[in-house]
């Protein structure tokens, strides 16, 4: 009787951990937070269908300037949806950059439920589609992954077509391993013995760890807040260690989790804009 009770408790704990860790990586909402029109931008809404018939939603936010410097494709973090996340990069549309962003399965109006395998294949398909459009217009593409989006981006990159048109890869507040970051978060937020089971439950099948070095020779910028309390700073250091040249590690002193741009008004945002402009001038 006692052994049977303990077994039931054990599996209950495993189930609790499984659902807790799942919510770490995917936490979508259907809410519409903001629209580009509310911010004064023009957008095209693109609904694209992936191989299994699932319909996903994307926005193409037009540069406010007639002369387009380049295109930025945003892969956002795990919470809310693109109607909240696009704001972090939308200010670059005022500076001559087009912005593409899309919602993973289950986020906002996108159909389906998110899981690593499908999110990976969807993202590869989306980037290839956007890159093909940029090639037709003879414009370069910058890939920008934030938090979870950084991990998705680094893994997806290996399976892309026409990588020569991709000018730069930026990973902001990202991580190289789902299992390791789940363990780090569990150690902070879960009690014994749940925190020790995180590395068992979470799969690293779609972690980018083994693929980061393959992003080279495309230049890579790794950005991480020194005081990030969501994705620990050690993850940014590890991404930089694994990446091959050309690479740059931009440490945000006192920065939290992907919070440093402040809609383009911060000192770091202005420095980042100069870096982007210079990079495209040198590589076009």
What's the rounded Cα separation, in Å, for the pair 75 and 89? 11
Give residue 266's pLDDT.
Answer: 95
Residues sharing a CB contact under 8 Å with residue 229, sequence separation 6 or more, in sequence order: 256, 257
Taking alpha carbons only, the member of 245, 243, 235 closest to residue 176 is 235
User: Is the confidence at residue 162, as pLDDT, over 60?
Assistant: yes
| CATH code, domain with 191 | 3.40.50.1820
% of the chain surpassing 70 pLDDT: 87
Instruction: Write out the residue range of the structural domain in which residue 151 sits.
Output: 2-283
What does the pLDDT average to over 198-213?
A: 86
What's the rounded Cα separation, in Å, for the pair 14 and 198? 9
Residue pLDDT, tens place only, 44-80: 999 999 999 999 999 999 999 989 999 999 999 999 9
What's the rounded Cα separation, in Å, for the pair 263 and 39? 11
Q: What letter does residue 44 receive in the DSSP assignment?
A: E
Residue 154, token pair as written in the block: 């680094």
Residue pLDDT, tens place only, 253-280: 999 999 999 999 999 999 999 999 998 8
Q: What domain count does the chain have?
A: 1
């Amino acid at each position: 009787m006692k052994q049977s009770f303990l077994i039931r408790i054990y599996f209950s704990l495993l189930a609790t951990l499984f659902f807790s860790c799942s919510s770490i990586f995917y936490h979508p909402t259907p809410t519409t937070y903001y629209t580009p029109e509310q911010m004064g931008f023009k957008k095209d809404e693109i609904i694209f269908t992936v191989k299994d018939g699932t319909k996903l939603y994307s926005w193409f936010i037009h540069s406010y300037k007639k002369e387009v410097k380049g295109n930025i494709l945003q892969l956002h973090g795990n919470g809310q949806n693109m109607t909240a996340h696009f704001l972090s990069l939308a200010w670059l549309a005022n500076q001559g950059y087009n912005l593409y962003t899309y919602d993973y399965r289950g986020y906002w109006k996108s159909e389906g439920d998110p899981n690593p395998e499908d999110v990976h294949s969807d993202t590869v398909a989306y980037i290839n589609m956007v890159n093909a459009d940029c090639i037709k217009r003879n414009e370069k593409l910058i890939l920008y992954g934030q938090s979870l989006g950084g991990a998705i981006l680094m893994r997806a990159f290996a399976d892309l077509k026409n990588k020569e048109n991709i000018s730069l890869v930026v990973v902001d507040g990202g991580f190289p391993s789902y299992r390791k970051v789940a363990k780090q978060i569990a150690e902070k937020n879960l009690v014994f013995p749940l925190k020790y089971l995180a590395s068992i439950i979470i799969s690293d099948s779609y972690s980018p760890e083994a693929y980061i070095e393959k992003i080279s020779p495309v230049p890579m910028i790794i950005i991480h807040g020194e005081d990030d309390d969501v994705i620990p700073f050690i993850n940014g250091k590890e991404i930089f260690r694994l990446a091959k040249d050309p690479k740059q590690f931009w440490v945000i002193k006192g920065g939290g989790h992907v919070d440093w741009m402040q809609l383009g008004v911060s000192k770091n945002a202005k420095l980042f804009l100069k870096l982007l402009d210079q990079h495209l001038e040198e590589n076009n």
